[in-house]
């Protein structure tokens, strides 16, 4: 039985006061439920504050990225031990904005996955095709490449501590959500890659969440799909009301 995950990626948004108010609202109004896991991924500079707000609850906190080296002369980067030390338990890795705006490669994404896991952080490995790749019928090829590369060197025990997010790049922040059946098909492909690399119990047990313009009015159709185990939510996670509706929708 896969427990759905509702994860909010706040990206580079909100003032400190707004971030604190949002975390507090989610804490107060999201009932601690065994039916859905809730995760907040604020900007790195607010991780400490958000971790403190939700520390006595089941709400998890994750970073939006993590560097692969544990320490050193890497100005501006944040390491996995630092993220863990603040009280986080997850890290988003390989988000499409990191891949496409900052040129992150599949290999670097894999290093980040491993660094997160070595420091007790559950990586949320993001994969997704560009619009032109979908139009050129390259979706399966791109997703297979990104998943295989992201999981390089990971054995069966490692992947138990990992979540995959399918986020078609053309649906992120555009208001154009993938059709539930379209998303489900790609989730099914990812599950079959996991089955081939590992085994059925792993492919059946692993959570694969969808991201890309998830809103309160489309979560029901997505979560009803057999292979969709929750949502990674950008814009709609910035307001307590809409994120709470999505959490309920996932449950």
Asked if 91 touches ligand PEP (CB under 6 A), the answer is no
Subset of residues 10 to 49 that bind ligand PEP, contact rule: CB under 6 A: 11
Q: Is 115 in the site for ligand PEP (CB under 6 A)?
A: no
Q: Please, which residues have CB within 8 angstroms of residue 158's CB and are 6 or more apart in sequence?
A: 117
Find the catalytic residue in 97, 104, 167, 187.
Answer: 167
Among candidate residues 95, 104, 108, 187, the one labeled active-site is 95
Task: Closer to ligand PEP by CB, 110 or 213: give it.
Answer: 213
108 is catalytic: no
Secondary structure class of 99 (helix, strand, coil):
helix
The residue written with tokens 């939700």 in the block is 54
Would you say 93 or 232 has its CB closer to ligand PEP?
Answer: 232
Q: Which one, of 130, 194, 142, 184, lies nearest residue 163 by Cα?
A: 194
- The contact mask relative to ligand PEP for 168-197 (x = CB under 6 A, - = no) is ----xx------------------------
Pairwise CA distance, residues 218 & 99, whole Å? 26
Strand ranges (E), the chain: 5-9, 37-41, 60-63, 90-93, 122-127, 163-166, 208-211, 230-233
238 binds ligand PEP (CB under 6 A): no
> Per CB under 6 A, does 235 bind ligand PEP?
yes
Query: Among this protein's residues, is 227 annotated catalytic?
Result: no
- How far apart are the C-alpha atoms of 26 and 86, rounded to whole Å? 19
Q: Which of 79, 122, 146, 213 binds ligand PEP (CB under 6 A)?
A: 213
Helix (H) or strand (E) holding 113: helix 106-118
Question: Does 233 engage in binding with ligand PEP (CB under 6 A)?
Answer: yes
125 part of the interface to ligand PEP, by CB under 6 A: no
Tell me which of 37, 108, 129, 167 binds ligand PEP, using CB under 6 A: 167
Torsion of CA 134, 236, 39, 144, to 10 degrees: 0
Q: For residue 75, what are the CA distances in angstroms to 69, 71, 72, 115?
A: 12, 10, 8, 18
214 binds ligand PEP (CB under 6 A): yes
* Region near ligand PEP per CB under 6 A, out of 55-63, 80-88, 196-204, 229-237: 229-237
Question: Which residue has its beta carbon closest to ligand PEP?
Answer: 234
- Beta carbon of residue 164, minimum distance to ligand PEP (angstroms, whole number): 13
Considering the rule CB under 6 A, would residue 85 count as an interface residue with ligand PEP?
Answer: no
Half-sphere exposure of 198 (CA within 13 A, CB side): 22
Where in the sequence numbering do the catalytic residues fall? 95, 167
Q: What is the binding site for ligand PEP (CB under 6 A)?
A: 9, 11, 167, 172-173, 211-214, 232-236
């Amino acid at each position: 039985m896969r427990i759905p995950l509702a994860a909010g990626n706040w990206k580079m948004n909100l003032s400190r006061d707004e971030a604190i108010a949002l975390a507090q609202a989610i804490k107060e109004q999201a009932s601690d439920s065994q039916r859905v896991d809730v995760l907040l991924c604020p900007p790195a500079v607010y991780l400490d504050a958000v971790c403190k707000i939700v520390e006595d609850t089941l709400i998890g906190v994750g970073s939006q990225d993590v560097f692969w080296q544990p320490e050193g002369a890497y100005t501006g980067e944040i390491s996995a031990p630092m993220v863990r030390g603040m009280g986080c338990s997850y890290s988003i890795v390989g988000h499409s904005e990191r891949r496409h705006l900052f040129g992150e490669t599949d290999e670097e994404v894999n290093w980040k996955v491993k660094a997160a896991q070595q420091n007790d952080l559950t990586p949320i490995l993001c994969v997704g095709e560009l619009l032109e790749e979908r139009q050129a019928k390259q979706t399966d090829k791109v997703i297979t490449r990104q998943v295989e590369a992201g999981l390089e060197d990971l054995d069966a025990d490692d992947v138990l501590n990992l979540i995959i997010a399918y986020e078609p790049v053309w649906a992120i922040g555009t208001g154009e959500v993938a059709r539930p059946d379209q998303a489900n098909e790609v989730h099914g492909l990812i599950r079959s890659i996991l089955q081939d690399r590992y085994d059925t119990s792993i492919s059946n047990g692993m959570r694969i969440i969808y991201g890309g313009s998830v809103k309160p009015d489309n979560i029901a159709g997505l979560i009803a799909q057999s292979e969709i185990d929750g949502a990674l939510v950008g814009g709609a996670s910035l307001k307590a009301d809409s994120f709470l509706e999505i959490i309920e929708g996932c449950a």
